[in-house]
Amino acid sequence: MMVKPWQGMDTVRKSVEQHEGGSVLRVWQFHGGARFPLYGRSVWLLALLLGLSVTSAARAADLDAKAWLNKIVSAAMNRSYEGTFVYRRDDQLVAMRIVHVADGESERERLTALNGRQREIIRDSDGVVCILPEQTQVTLNRAGVGKHFSPKFLENLAGLEKNYRFSLGDSDRIAGRLGRMIVIEPRDALRYGYRIWVDEETGLLLQSDLVDEEGDAVEQVMFTSLNLVTKVPPAMAASVVITEEMRKQMKSTAPKTQAQSNADLSWSITQGPSGFVLAERYAHSAEAGIAVEHGVLSDGMATVSVFVEPLGSAQPFVGVSHMGAVSAFGAVVNNRQLTVVGEVPIATVQMIGKGITFQNQGEQ
């Protein structure tokens, strides 16, 4: 089995499809010859959220919600378990098996797809390995993948409350366990909300819904079975380990050029939705050596990507596109393609796209 470094943003590709309702933008990342949606809470990203189990009118309720948040973060680092969950988006339904091992200081997990294409991932503090048996290779993302509900999330809770309301809902049974609902409601129409159910006994996440402006769940992750493990057997511990052989092969096959993080960008945001700030920025070479600038905006919950690249031979993307929870805005500026895409309402990507200013004032 061959190990290849996960090349991250070097493998981003976009396509524009024409349908009766208008243009649809699709953004993909390619890892080891396989492609995965960059947007939409794909199985790979959603699975990583499951290792974790988010100003109400009354101050007491506010304190209760924060207490639940602390349980969520603590559970991920201290609880080992195995189980099955399903991911639903539009007409897509995927079942995954998860093995999660935690020792109070770190967490590791392995996920296996139970339907559709064979695939597995292993995650630890160093990164994420994606195993594709039919290609006899492994790709490794050394940067890892972030999570919504982390210690950093709790540290930023006061800032989040400027744009979201946190409150407690009723209890319900999920996967045979009693879960308490926490509601994360946006204070404006420029971001989506969440409904999450937390295991009242352990603090682990049992279900997570991404909620649109109408209050409907546009994406959902839900455990169907969950078994707690108090003493991790050796076989279970070994199943979540990224082996030294994988790490050595990753080093030996590392590409000579990597995407440049914290790169200087030719553009900036002069006007955008409240709370969204530039959190990450990259410069990288896409297909055929085309230089692409990529910025990631975040309000602490939602993320939006901005791509700026020279126009190629492909049809430019102009206007808006919306599929499920994902919205996109495209424009051509002085022979460059500007694309804004993320799990936010259309009005948000439009506002961000129209609020971008290039350093050269002649290119606004």
Q: What pLDDT is stored for residue 39 in this prediction?
A: 46
Q: Is residue 5 part of a domain?
A: no
Question: Would you say residue 6 has pLDDT above 50?
Answer: no
User: In the prediction, which pLDDT does 130 show?
Assistant: 78
What is the predicted pLDDT for the residue at 245?
76
- pLDDT per position as a tens digit, 299-310: 988 999 999 998
Residues 226 and 291 in one domain: no
pLDDT confidence of 65, banded at 50, 70, 90? confident
In whole angstroms, give the CA distance from residue 139 to residue 128: 8
Q: Is there a single domain that holds both residue 265 and residue 304?
A: yes
d(CA 284, CA 261) in angstroms, rounded, equals 9
Are 280 and 210 part of one and the same domain? Answer: no
Q: Which segment of 91-105, 154-168, 251-265 scores lowest on mean pLDDT?
A: 251-265
Tell whether 93 and 142 lie within a shared domain. Answer: yes
Chain centroid, CA 303 distance in Å: 8
Query: What are the distances in angstroms from CA 230 to CA 29, 60, 135, 176?
Result: 37, 33, 36, 19
Asked if residue 218 and residue 321 are part of one domain, the reply reads no
Position 289 confidence tier, pLDDT thresholds 50, 70, 90: low
Whether residues 246 and 314 share a domain: the answer is: no
Tell me: pLDDT of 89 over 70.
Answer: yes
Q: In CATH, what number is assigned to the domain containing residue 279?
A: 3.30.200.100
Q: Which of 359, 309, 311 is nearest to 335 (CA)?
A: 311
Three-state SS for 95? strand
Residue 229 belongs to domain with CATH number: 2.50.20.10
Q: Judge if 77 and 44 occupy the same domain.
A: yes
Query: How far, in Å, CA of 93 to CA of 82, rounded?
Result: 20
Confidence of residue 10 (pLDDT cuts 50, 70, 90): very low
Closest residue by Cα to residue 43 from 194, 191, 219: 219
Lowest-confidence segment of 13-17, 185-189, 289-293 by average pLDDT: 13-17
Q: Is 172 inside any structural domain?
A: yes
Q: What is the residue range of 194's domain? A: 40-252
Is 28 within a domain? no
Please give the tally of structural domains in the chain.
2
What per-residue confidence (pLDDT) applies to 318?
A: 93
In the predicted structure, residue 267 carries a pLDDT above the cut 70 = yes
The per-residue pLDDT of the chain, averaged, comes to 77
Report the share of the chain in percent with pLDDT over 90.
39
Highest mean pLDDT among 71-75, 142-146, 286-290: 71-75
**Mean pLDDT confidence for 285-297:** 78
* Same domain membership, residue 201 and residue 156: yes
Confidence of residue 53 (pLDDT cuts 50, 70, 90): very low
More confident residue, 154 or 71: 71
Output 39 or 357, whichever has higher pLDDT.
357
Q: What is the CA radius of gyration of the chain?
A: 21
Distances (CA, A) of 94 to 53, 89, 222, 264, 324: 20, 9, 11, 39, 16
Mind listing the pLDDT tens digit for each residue in 202-222?
999 999 999 998 889 988 999
Asked if the structure places residue 24 within a domain, the reply is no
Q: What is the enclosing helix (H) or strand (E) of 45?
A: helix 43-49
Ordered DSSP codes for 321-364: EEETTEEEEEEEETTEEEEEEESS-HHHHHHHHHTEEESSGGG-
